[in-house]
């Protein structure tokens, strides 16, 4: 099997809804133009074949779940023309179910091959919640509702989940679901062992393919030819754009079969008796992607009911978060000040929050939510946007009564923690923070 094996039961079905959600961590496919191939989803329900069938047979008999019974638990018709989908060995077929008999069978579904099957062969129910698995184990030429760790695809046959429309949700698929994926990167190192003798040289050029940031709008699948970017081997390269090493299905459908990453090595010598040497057996690429998104409201997530505000006790759809440990004070304090130096490009943002346990609180510290500094997480005063990767600016955040007498009284507190949420729409331009300091003051 190819691609990444997903978490157990990664397919989220909603009753009577053709859109299904795929839970696929760090999939690298953040443009809706991406293709994805999903394989290995199963119903988890099976029985055995009662009697041998030939490659041309159009009926079969199932062995019941209970000795002497007249049915198989969970086996029922799909929503597609009341047909039941079955898989025996590698062949998929569909027919009409009546008790233990399946008749009017159409063989060799989904490009499988009709063959003979021996008595006792495993018969898998090849559908989930009345949706044929031929609609899930396939290539999808578009994805929607793209999140950093999930996306949705569209079926033809809506699943049936017990309950009212749009309300019940179930997770299915089993433990062997695989999905194709891209590898997104903004930093790369080409690792190639070389030998450059006197009067010889080795140069390298890179052909990369554009990608889309998790919350970005960049155009994916724009391929640079291999002579457009010079790189140094065995040296870390930071790119000005997000790039992808595309999955095979994306290379086929979006790049006309062209490889999404190529490195051209040019070996030269001025001495005809000597050549530079490269060891391709030990050549590799190290690619690093910045995990950065920008989630501000329910409209930024799917479904919208899953949205968690950054102030909530746990859960935050923003991926780049730093939270300090709980800090206990020997003496009560009444105000907080946080300072750091940061690079914040125009496409990014840094929001800072805090929580405090007051001296008279009866809550457990872990049960407390967070509050924004300055009501929205912004610094005490505006700071210039960083213009380069090394353009660090100073940031200050205050809560409680400030030195000038302004602010809202926090009351006395004995414990606190700081949460920093980093956001951005361009993963190649992430915020960077250093020299973090948090001070509790008694004003």
Task: Kindly state whether residue 141 falls inside one of the protein's structural domains.
Answer: yes
Q: Which of 288, 317, 334 is the last residue of a domain?
A: 288
Residues whose CB is less than 8 angstroms from the CB of residue 199 and which lie 6 or more positions away in sequence, other chains included: 269, 270, 271, 274
Domain of 275, in residue numbers: 183-288
> Domain boundary at 288, 316, 332, which?
288
Q: How far apart are CA 145 and CA 301, in angstroms?
A: 8
Rounded to 10 degrees, what is the CA torsion of 34, 40, 42, 44?
-140
In terms of Cβ atoms closer than 10 Å to its own Cβ (0-12, 13-18, 19+), residue 371 is middle
Considering the domain architecture, whether residues 398 and 304 belong to the same structural domain is answered as yes
Q: Is 293 part of any domain?
A: no
Q: What's this model's pTM, rounded to 2 decimal places?
A: 0.92
- Regarding whether 268 and 342 lie in a shared domain, the answer is no
Residue 328 lies in a domain: yes
Instruction: For residue 35, tell me if it sits in a domain.
Output: yes
One domain for residues 118 and 222: no
Same domain, 403 and 302: yes
- Establish if 358 belongs to a structural domain: yes
Question: What pLDDT does residue 1 have?
Answer: 45
Q: Which region holds residue 305: left if phi is over 0, alpha if psi is between -120 and 50, else beta?
A: alpha
User: Do 312 and 432 reside in the same domain of the chain?
Assistant: yes
Structure tokens that stand for 389 in this block: 């990767």
Same domain (yes/no): 88, 62: yes
From 400, 290, 393, select the one nearest 334 (Cα to Cα).
400
Residue 58 lies in a domain: yes
- Which backbone phi and psi does 257 adopt, to 5 degrees? 85, -5
Residues 159, 160, 161: CA angle, nearest 5 degrees: 115
315/407 same-domain check:
yes
What pLDDT does residue 362 have? 85
Per-residue confidence (pLDDT) for residue 166, from 0 to 100: 61
Q: Are residues 28 and 158 in the same domain?
A: yes
Q: Is 110 part of a structural domain of the chain?
A: yes
Whole-number Å distance between alpha carbons of 136 and 178: 11
Quick one: tokens of 168?
A: 């019940």
Q: Is there a contact between 354 and 419 (Cβ–Cβ < 8 Å)?
A: yes
Domain containing residue 26: CATH number: 2.40.30.20
Distance CA 42, CA 1 (A): 15
State the pLDDT at residue 245: 97
Domains identified in the chain, total number: 4
Asked whether residue 76 falls in the same domain as residue 173, the answer is no
Residue 270 lies in a domain: yes
Q: Per residue, what are the HEC states of 144-184? A: EEEECCEEEEECCCCCCCCCCCCCCEEEEECCCCEECCCEE
Q: Are residues 318 and 380 in the same domain?
A: yes
Residues 411 and 315 in one domain: yes
Residue whose C-alpha is closest to residue 80's, from 130, 138, 123: 130
What is the C-alpha radius of gyration for the chain, rounded to an integer number of angstroms?
A: 29
- Counting as low any pLDDT under 70, the low residues of the chain are 1-2, 163-166, 226-227
Q: pLDDT tens across 373-388, in order?
A: 999 999 999 999 999 9
Give per-residue pLDDT as tens, 161-196: 986 666 788 999 999 999 999 999 999 999 999 999
pLDDT of residue 58: 97
Burial classification of residue 186, based on how many CB atoms lie within 10 Å of its CB (0-12 exposed, 13-18 middle, 19 or more buried)? buried
Kindly tell me the burial class for residue 310, based on how many C-beta atoms sit within 10 Å of its own C-beta (0-12, 13-18, 19 or more). buried
Cα 396 to Cα 439: distance, rounded to the nearest angstrom:
11
178-179 sheet: strands from edge to edge:
4-5, 178-179, 36-39, 139-140
| CATH number of 420's domain | 2.60.120
Residue 254, H or E segment: helix 248-254
Q: Count H helices and E strands in the chain, helices first.
A: 1, 31
Distance separating alpha carbons of residues 389 and 432, to the nearest angstrom: 8
> Which residue, 254, 288, 322, sits at the end of a domain?
288
Together in a domain, 85 and 36: no
């Amino acid at each position: 099997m190819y691609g990444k094996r997903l978490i157990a039961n990664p397919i989220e079905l909603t009753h009577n809804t053709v859109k299904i959600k795929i839970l696929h961590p760090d999939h690298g496919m953040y443009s809706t133009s991406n293709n994805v191939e999903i394989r290995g989803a199963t119903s988890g329900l099976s029985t055995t074949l009662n009697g041998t069938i030939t490659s041309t047979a159009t009926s079969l008999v199932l062995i019941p779940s209970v000795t002497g019974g007249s049915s198989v638990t969970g086996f029922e018709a799909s929503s597609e023309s009341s047909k039941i989908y079955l898989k025996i060995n590698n062949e998929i077929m569909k027919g009409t179910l009546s008790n233990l008999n399946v008749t009017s069978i159409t063989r060799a579904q989904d490009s499988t091959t009709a063959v003979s099957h021996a008595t006792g062969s495993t018969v898998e129910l090849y559908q989930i919640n009345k949706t044929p698995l031929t609609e899930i184990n396939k290539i999808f030429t578009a994805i929607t509702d793209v999140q950093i760790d999930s996306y949705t695809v569209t079926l033809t046959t809506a699943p049936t989940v017990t309950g009212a429309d749009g309300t019940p949700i179930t997770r299915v698929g089993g433990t062997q679901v695989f999905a194709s994926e891209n590898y997104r990167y903004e930093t790369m190192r080409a690792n190639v062992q070389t030998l450059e003798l006197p009067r010889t040289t080795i140069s390298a050029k890179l052909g990369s393919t554009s990608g889309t940031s998790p919350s970005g709008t960049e155009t994916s699948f724009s391929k640079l030819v291999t002579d457009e970017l010079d790189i140094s081997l065995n040296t870390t390269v930071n790119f000005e754009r997000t790039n992808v090493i595309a999955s095979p299905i994306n290379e086929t459908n979006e790049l006309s079969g062209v490889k999404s990453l190529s490195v051209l090595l040019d070996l030269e010598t001025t001495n005809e008796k000597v050549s530079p040497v490269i060891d391709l057996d030990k050549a590799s690429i190290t690619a690093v992607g910045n995990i950065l998104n920008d989630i501000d409201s329910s409209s930024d997530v799917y479904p919208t009911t899953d949205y968690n505000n950054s102030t909530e006790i746990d859960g935050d759809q923003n991926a780049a978060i730093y939270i300090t440990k709980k800090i206990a004070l020997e003496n009560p304090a009444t105000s907080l000040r946080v300072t750091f130096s940061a690079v914040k490009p125009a496409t990014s943002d840094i929001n800072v929050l805090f929580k405090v346990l007051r001296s008279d609180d009866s809550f457990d510290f872990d049960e407390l939510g967070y509050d924004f500094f300055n009501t929205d997480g912004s610094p005490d005063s505006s700071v210039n946007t960083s213009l380069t990767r090394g353009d660090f600016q100073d940031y200050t955040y205050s809560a409680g009564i400030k030195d000038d007498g302004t602010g809202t009284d926090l009351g006395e507190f004995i414990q606190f923690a700081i949460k920093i949420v980093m956001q951005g729409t361009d993963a190649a331009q992430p915020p960077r923070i250093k020299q973090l300091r948090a001070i509790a003051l008694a004003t």
